[in-house]
Structure 1
Amino acid sequence: MQLIEHADSPRVIRLHERDNVVVIVNDQGVPAGTELPGALVTLEHVPQSHKVNLVDIPQGGEVIRYGQVIGYALQPIPRGTWVREDLLRMPTAPALDSLPMSDAVPEALPALEGFTFEGYRNADGTVGTRNILGITTTVQCVTGVLDHAVKRIRDELLPKYPHVDDVVALTHSYGCGVAITAADAYIPIRTVRNLARNPNLGGEALVISLGCEKLQAGQVMHEDDASVDLSEPWLYRLQDSSHGFTEMIEQIMELAEVRLKKLDARRRETVPASELILGMQCGGSDAFSGITANPALGYASDLLLRAGATVMFSEVTEVRDAIYLLTSRAETPAVAEALVREMDWYDRYLAKGEADRSANTTPGNKKGGLSNIVEKSLGSIVKSGNSAINAVVGPGERAQRKGLIFCATPASDFVCGTLQLAAGMNLHVFTTGRGTPYGLAMAPVVKVSTRTELARRWPDLIDIDAGRIATGRATIEELGWELFHYYLDVASGKQQTWAERHKLHNDIVLFNPAPVT
């Protein structure tokens, strides 16, 4: 990355020597007639994070950022123009039948020894970063009753068990009125099942059922599942109540207290950093996402992998246009083929809805300087760092190995976070340029801003300001190490993220591509 900066002067960033556009760094952008480095003069006002072309680009000519083509000029673009979405034709998506497969697998970096955090050991060998009572559901019908019970548990029971961090209702809209035997119904079903197995729930999750729904409790909890303790009563059906609402609440509270006593007896212990399972995600992305926050996450990802941890990146539509850069890095051809399989599945899923991956880019993304999904994808995959990709996990599936994992999810913040929790994530990091109060109840969320301006406006929502990279106050390497240490402190409970302090969290949102009846 080349930062072109002079004191009190317009500042731009050029990411790759092939790039024929630069990105404006100044908070307020630059006005028309501004002289940029290299005797480049802007022909119009250009907002912060938007692009200016370094050379005249003819009609049909390539626009290059990240060293890759992000679009073709729909008309001649004179040097110094604000390069916007309406001036570009988006490239077609890379064909999936001719990708490079495991032809540039990175060498393993030297191991990092001696890094630890304080976590909660679980019976199945996993480690939690928090000690939470989870109460899951089989159908949306029980949500109102469970919400009432959870409020009573928090007010009346939790104060008696100070070593339990929280009680969380794993409510969702699935379970009835759905085609339970449809081809893709396995995705929401295994998601609900694996959410209850998340390491932060300590194997003590309960199930609240109505009784008549299509998704039955036996599909959520399996008798032979070592991840959940079924030695104590773990299920309550509301339709079994003989005395109405009051009895329902009392029964749920009684079951909860048995679990709270067991969770309260647990204590943190020193565990290697290899027990961390980090999920990474973007939301409210802008053109700085791929310049500051995501590269810092990528550097920290490589550090965690060197320490033996598990790191997940996701969002199919936000890697689809850069998939050729990922299949090259796949550890084996089988991993590369799994990446292709997930891309193909999602292409067909979008086609059924008469959409394609271009539907991903939001008005906020475009206002933040991202012209199209190709440019967004190239900035998104930077989170994955420079290590080999070791495995692919399907939507709702649980990760079975350590290393760098592509967790195939939609790009929707809420759905992606839910699926990463189902995959086993015990810590989450979320980068944002436009800003969002996003949070999760089941895992701490570290919020990283791409721009310092956002961190200044939202000082009690942003945990780490990666905008310092764009202004030369920190390097990617320095921010990567800062994130690495911050992850371990948050995992240990030594630090609370702003989302935790405010108890901000989004609802669990299942991915259900199957029909609703």
Structure 2
Amino acid sequence: MTHVTTNSRVIQVHPSDNVAIVIEHGGLEAGVTINDECTTTMPIPQGHKVALKPIAENDSIVRYGEVIGTALVAIERGAHVNENNVQLPTAPALEELPLATRQPPEQAPLEGYTFEGFRNPDGSVGTKNVLGITTSVQCVAGTVEYVVGRIKRELLPRFPNVDDVVGLNHSYGCGVAINAPAAVVPIRTLKNIALNPNFGNEIMVIGLGCEKLQPSTLLEDRPVKIYENTEAADPDANVLSLQDESFEGFGDMVEGILAMAERHLERLNQRQRETCPASELVVGMQCGGSDAFSGVTANPAVGFATDLIVRAGGSVMFSEVTEVRDAIHLLTPRAIDREVGQALIDQMAWYDDYLMQGQADRSANPSPGNKKGGLSNVVEKALGSVIKSGNSPIVDVIGPGERLRRKGLTFAATPASDFICGTLQLAAGMNLQVFTTGRGTPYGLAMVPVLKVATNSYLAKRWHDIIDLDAGRIATGEASIEGLGWELFHLILDIASGRKQASADRLGIHNDLVLFNPAPVT
């Protein structure tokens, strides 16, 4: 995608665009000259679109070289183009899309790049060394939160190689239609989160005892060893149920969990960082609190870094079905084969049906904050979002809650919700996440480092202690997409190695897990 900056005031992404976005903080007043032909006719906020030429009623509005909508009314040159005068176009018809028609660009392998990670017996590599305590039902969440606090205060200081203790609480497990077909999504999500490489295969499960989702279900791929409240308790125990009749009161339950945690901490403490090739990176790309700069600064730089990781043999996933659906015609040609292309279409169709059943449609996205940041509709948002995927071929498509199967670039189907997307990318096996934002969000995950990239320098300066990288320098001409992409790639290696700490981890800002449950609740 070619970037054409007409002057220091606006950015025109593609030569065929009839709109440009305002760069200047504080926006432009009426009467400001943009170029020889265009002068603003009204105030236009930063990030919002200005019409570079007259646009007749029902004519196409073009950004990124793609139609983002049609004009609801005639729009004069120099006027403000926004959600009030742009009509949402029809989504691309899924049955007419080209599959695997684009020859992937020639990209030489990227060799010699490494990071310091925690290698697991199954060959996966963690970027953190974390004791994960998952729950089989929300009923025990309060107990787990209480115990995690005790572990951090009383046990963790004795195990310096362990980074953290995390309670994997959620709202699932009982009062749900657990045998409904769609229940496979939350169940496999919880099972696969327990396999995340940052937990070093030392996951603990705390259950109640009477729930529909029994603890053993979450560990069906590994031995289940029940904790017994006796002096001869199994040192390898990984499951504890609070309703076990051997417990006399809450204090007994807590002591049992502490005893089990201590043994897991002892084993985790033996893990040491070792030099691993960059091919062991599993990076999730996500955006949230997006603005009109997302698609011209942060996301293109992330896309460049995506290609670097793929060239190094690593794994990258991009997600957010509703922020892909309107740009799907740009992605199906990049599928490595027709089967992968069809899988992309199948995921779009599944989500179309899911929204229809809920009597919703894609117009529910974007958010009020996205619109305030200059995004008129979900088409414009999607075109800026998919740029995070770079130019690499798409080698696989996985459903919500599934694990990655192949190295390279994968589309991991998730809702666009930041918290649900992050939860599902954890289940897919990511060991680090890159999160771009233009409006700002303190989002973070305790299980993996979350590296936050600002789309504009105003946000990066205002939130100087929350943002890890300022991509707004691309808009001001201080940096290039390629330069920022390399900077991000090196920062990913440093954070994956523990040499640098993501701001969210340094500040202790961590969001709850949020499961995607399309099944009925009983």
TM-score, with length taken from structure 1: 0.97
Once residues 200 and 323 of structure 2 are traced to their aligned partners in structure 1, the CA distance between those partners, rounded to angstroms, is: 32
Once residues 35 and 260 of structure 2 are traced to their aligned partners in structure 1, the CA distance between those partners, rounded to angstroms, is: 67
Counterparts of residues 193-208 of structure 1 (less than 5 Å): 193-208=191-206
Contact 2:294 2:438 in 1 (8 A): yes
The Cα shift of 1:88 comes to 1.2
- Of 342-351 and 99-108, more deviation after overlay is shown by 99-108
Once residues 449 and 419 of structure 1 are traced to their aligned partners in structure 2, the CA distance between those partners, rounded to angstroms, is: 23
Q: What does residue 256 of structure 1 align with?
A: 261
Q: Give the counterpart letter for 1:167 in structure 2.
A: V
Return the match for 1:247 from 222, 228, 252. Answer: 252
Counterparts of residues 356-505 of structure 1 (less than 5 Å): 356-505=361-510
Return the match for 1:136 from 116, 125, 134. Answer: 134
The Cα shift of 1:67 comes to 0.2
Identity value in percent: 60
Q: What does residue 46 of structure 1 align with?
A: 44
Once residues 61 and 35 of structure 2 are traced to their aligned partners in structure 1, the CA distance between those partners, rounded to angstroms, is: 19
CA deviations 1:209-255 (Å, max 9, x no partner) are 101000011210015479xxx98111000000431100110000100
Contact 2:98 2:333 in 1 (8 A): yes
Return the match for 1:316 from 318, 321, 336. Answer: 321
Aligned residue pairs, count: 510
2:268 aligned with 1:270, yes or no? no
Q: Give the counterpart letter for 1:484 in structure 2.
A: F
**5+ residue gaps, structure 2:** 225-233
Q: Give the counterpart letter for 2:509 in structure 1.
A: L
Once residues 38 and 330 of structure 1 are traced to their aligned partners in structure 2, the CA distance between those partners, rounded to angstroms, is: 42
Once residues 404 and 262 of structure 2 are traced to their aligned partners in structure 1, the CA distance between those partners, rounded to angstroms, is: 30
CA deviations 1:321-374 (Å, max 9, x no partner) are 000100010001000000001000000000011001111210000000000000
Once residues 316 and 243 of structure 1 are traced to their aligned partners in structure 2, the CA distance between those partners, rounded to angstroms, is: 48
Once residues 400 and 319 of structure 1 are traced to their aligned partners in structure 2, the CA distance between those partners, rounded to angstroms, is: 21
Q: What does residue 5 of structure 1 align with?
A: 7
2:231 aligned with 1:233, yes or no? no
RMSD: 1.1
Return the match for 1:285 from 275, 287, 290. Answer: 290
Once residues 305 and 165 of structure 1 are traced to their aligned partners in structure 2, the CA distance between those partners, rounded to angstroms, is: 28
Once residues 61 and 303 of structure 2 are traced to their aligned partners in structure 1, the CA distance between those partners, rounded to angstroms, is: 25
Task: Find the residue that maps to 2:161 and give its secondary structure.
Answer: coil
Once residues 475 and 453 of structure 1 are traced to their aligned partners in structure 2, the CA distance between those partners, rounded to angstroms, is: 18
Q: What does residue 78 of structure 1 align with?
A: 76
Alignment CA distance shift 1:330-1:86 (3 Å): same
CA deviations 1:105-163 (Å, max 9, x no partner) are 31341000100000000011100000000000100000111111110000000000000
Q: Give the counterpart letter for 1:4 in structure 2.
A: T
Contact 1:108 1:387 in 2 (8 A): no
Task: Find the residue that maps to 1:168 and give its secondary structure.
Answer: strand
Contact 1:105 1:330 in 2 (8 A): no
Contact 1:285 1:434 in 2 (8 A): yes
Q: What does residue 516 of structure 1 align with?
A: 521
Contact 1:138 1:175 in 2 (8 A): yes
Contact 2:291 2:438 in 1 (8 A): yes
**5+ residue gaps, structure 1:** none
The Cα shift of 1:37 comes to 1.8
Q: What does residue 101 of structure 1 align with?
A: 99
Q: What does residue 179 of structure 1 align with?
A: 177
Once residues 142 and 452 of structure 1 are traced to their aligned partners in structure 2, the CA distance between those partners, rounded to angstroms, is: 43
Q: Give the counterpart letter for 2:317 in structure 1.
A: M
Once residues 36 and 483 of structure 2 are traced to their aligned partners in structure 1, the CA distance between those partners, rounded to angstroms, is: 29
Return the match for 2:219 from 204, 221, 238. Answer: 221
Q: What does residue 34 of structure 2 align with?
A: 36
Once residues 75 and 85 of structure 2 are traced to their aligned partners in structure 1, the CA distance between those partners, rounded to angstroms, is: 8
Runs of 4 or more off by more than 4 Å in structure 1?
Answer: 223-226
Contact 2:126 2:198 in 1 (8 A): yes
